[in-house]
Structure formats: structure tokens, C-alpha cells
Amino acid sequence: MTVLPGDGIGPEVVEATLSTLDALDAPLSFDVLDHVNASAYRRSGHALTDGDLARITSGSAVLLGAFGDPALEDTDYVRSVLLRLRLEFDLYANYRPARLWQDRLSPLRDPSKRAVDCVIVRENTEGLYSGVGGALRAATPWETAVDADISTYHGVSRIIDFAFSVAAEKVCMVDKANAVRSGGSLWQRCWREAAERHPDKRASHLYVDTAAMKLVTDPTEFEVVVTNNSYGDILSDLTAALAGGLGLAASASLNPETGFGLYEPVHGTAPDIAGKGIANPLATVLTAALLYERLELTAEADALRRAVTAAIAKGRVTPDLGGDLSTREAAAAVRAEL
């Protein structure tokens, strides 16, 4: 398996996670590419070489910390690493579960609404992220920016089918078909067709503004939410906050057909706390649990989640969760529970 620690808190949480995973004795070896980062990009103009890509391709999966640097302002860097990997391996299904880890971590006032246990299924290769567009009359007062919001029948059908395949009971499709004309009607058509293909599951629909409101007022109503790239990006930070924060939010970018996956926490490089040794490693530990689950190392995945739950229950956590442990100490606390 390839490991891309990345930038900012990425290397901190990845190092801590690997030290926890060592205790599991799982049949996995790690090929760590720590030279893929923002400083390499600044030096050479590219971060991911063809050689790196070949090493990644020969592995079974990728575990990634986070990529991004406040000094690199345009989208080219993140596009050349993170978004490139998602496209290169056609990782169209971004699976972002959110389950409240401890009642006291919920921001909601009403205890009966706190028990969120849902998954955001985000389309991961199309939408506003497709890079189609450009600037007209750039650097003039008439500058006009166009970023095409691409939806294809192929792309929308397959992500909705994936959402049904991971749901036990119900899927809610979220779009903005009341305002976004062509994409809206394509999502609606794919949705109707998919609902007919999956009569055993309950299918519902919400506009994204209402979905955001309902996720906050009663997240217990949701099981699987399927949506486009941008709405999925935003709603998965929202559900992360409901489940205890970005420090706990796991994510996997998958191609269900090839089985290849990029396992990356929901959070970014957190420049505000990078280098302080206080980043929460649990999102990456739980992301590794998603990886183990996909590799059918179910006992290891369960052990990791139980150990995380126990460490949280004992308050053996980093400051974002109200504890006073460092990144390494928090990872060691999980390891001690294994």
C-alpha cells in the first residue's frame, strides 16, 4: 500500500496512524512517498512524478494525509496531486461516514437528535471540479469567470447506484434541480431510474439548502445521502461536525469496479495548528479502518474502531476533542486499547 503523508498536519497524523497500525500485525506493507509535497511542487513545478504514479499503481490502495499549502494560492497544486489521483484511478465514489462517537461531542442541544449515523456519498470526478472553463477578459474590470458544472448520465447513474448498494434501507438524493436547469434534470432522471432499479430501498429527495437545514435539525432522519461533488464536499464537513468534528471524520475515494481506493481523512492540512503536534490523528486512524474493511480485514477494522471509542471515552484525546494529548500520545492511547 502506498502512503502519501502530504503537507501541514498530513505527515503528523499519518506518522501517528502508522505507529498505531503497526500494533495490529495486519498483512500490509507501506510504501511511504514523503517527497510528494508542496515544497517539491514549489521547487520543480510538479509534485507527483510518473515514477510516483507507477509506484502508486502497483500498490493495492493509497493512504493519504492531506495536501494543500496556504502559500500556493491557485488550484494547480491540489489539482496536480489530490484531484489527479481521484481522476487517474476513476475514484468516482467518495464515501464519507459520520457516526457520533460520544454524546458530549455533539453540537446539538436536543439529545434525542444527536445520534447521527449516516454516510455522504459524494460524486468525486465531475461537477464543478471538472476544470472545464476559463476566464474571459482576465485582469480587466470585465473579467468573466466560467467553471462548467459537468454532470454525465454515466457519472450520475453510477454514483446513485453506488449509494443504493451501500444503503441498508434508505437513500436521499440531494440536488438543486429547482435552480440548476440541465444538471438538475439529469440528476432527477437518473434518480427516478435508479429508484426503479432498487425498489427494495426507500428513495427520497431534498434540495441542498433544505438538506443542510434538516441535517442540523434532525440528522437521525438520514442514512445515505447521495449528491454531487461540491454539495458532497460541503455537507460532509457539516456531518463531520455533527459526529464530533473534522478530527474524527474518515473518508474513502473508491472505484467499486476496480477495487482501488484512496483513503483520505475529510480534513485538510490545518495550517493553523500544523507543526504544533496537536492535530487529531483519529480521522486518519478511522480512515485506515475503512481501508481494512474494504480489504476484508474486518477484525482489524473493528478493533481499530473499538480502540478509538475506548480512547475517546477515557478522554485520552487531543485538544479539539477537549483533551490535552499530543498527536503521538493520542495515537498511543488508541494503540494501548488494541
Q: In the complex, which residues of this chain contact ligand NAD (CB under 6 A)?
A: 9, 13, 66-68, 78, 82, 246-247, 264, 267-273, 279-280, 283, 320
Q: Are 268 and 159 in contact (CB under 8 A)?
A: no
123 binds Mn ion (CB under 5 A): no
Near Mn ion by CB under 5 A: residue from 12, 233, 300, 320: 233
How many Cα atoms occupy the beta-carbon half-sphere of 87 within 13 Å?
A: 14
126 binds Mn ion (CB under 5 A): no
Q: How many residues bind to Mn ion according to rule CB under 5 A?
A: 1
233 binds ligand IPM (CB under 6 A): yes
Q: Are 252 and 284 in contact (CB under 8 A)?
A: no
- Beta carbon of residue 78, minimum distance to ligand IPM (angstroms, whole number): 5
- Beta carbon of residue 68, minimum distance to ligand NAD (angstroms, whole number): 2
Q: Which stretch binds Mn ion (CB under 5 A): 31-39, 144-152, 202-210, 233-241?
A: 233-241
78 binds ligand IPM (CB under 6 A): yes
- Beta carbon of residue 129, minimum distance to ligand IPM (angstroms, whole number): 7
12 binds ligand IPM (CB under 6 A): no
Q: Which stretch binds Mn ion (CB under 5 A): 22-30, 68-76, 115-123, 230-238?
A: 230-238
- Sheet hosting strand 62-66, strand order edge to edge: 31-32, 2-6, 62-66, 261-263, 252-254, 93-99, 117-123, 224-227, 170-175, 202-207
248 binds, among ligand IPM, ligand NAD, Mn ion, none (CB under 5 to 8 A by kind): none
- Beta carbon of residue 9, minimum distance to ligand NAD (angstroms, whole number): 6
273 binds, among Mn ion, ligand IPM, ligand NAD, none (CB under 5 to 8 A by kind): ligand NAD
Scanning the structure block, which residue is given the C-alpha cell 514549489?
A: 42
Q: Which residue is nearest to Mn ion (CB)?
A: 233
Site map 268..307 versus ligand IPM, x via CB under 6 A: x---------------------------------------
Residues designated as active site = 129, 176, 209, 233, 237
Near ligand IPM by CB under 6 A: residue from 8, 11, 65, 68: 68
Nearer to ligand IPM, 17 or 326 (CB): 17
Scanning the structure block, which residue is given the C-alpha cell 489521483?
A: 85
Q: Which stretch binds Mn ion (CB under 5 A): 80-88, 187-195, 226-234, 239-247?
A: 226-234
252 binds ligand IPM (CB under 6 A): no
Q: Which stretch binds Mn ion (CB under 5 A): 61-69, 195-203, 231-239, 291-299?
A: 231-239
Q: Are 42 and 100 in contact (CB under 8 A)?
A: no
- Beta carbon of residue 305, minimum distance to ligand IPM (angstroms, whole number): 22
320 binds, among ligand IPM, Mn ion, ligand NAD, none (CB under 5 to 8 A by kind): ligand NAD
SS (H, E, C) the chain: CEEEEECCCHHHHHHHHHHHHHCCCCCCCCEECCCCCHHHHHHHCCCCCHHHHHHHHHCCCEEEEECCCCCCCCCHHHHHHHHHHHHHCCCCEEEEEEECCCHHHCCCCCHHHCCCEEEEEEECCCEHHHCCEEEECCCCCCCEEEECCECCHHHHHHHHHHHHHHCCCEEEEEECCCCCHHHHHHHHHHHHHHHHHCCCCEEEEEEHHHHHHHHHHCHHHCCEEEECHHHHHHHHHHHHHHCCCHHHCCCEEECCCCCCEEECCCCCCCCCCCCCCCCCCHHHHHHHHHHHHHCCCHHHHHHHHHHHHHHHHCCCCCHHHCCCCCHHHHHHHHHHHC
The contact set with Mn ion (CB under 5 A) reads: 233
The contact set with ligand IPM (CB under 6 A) reads: 68, 78, 82, 233, 266, 268
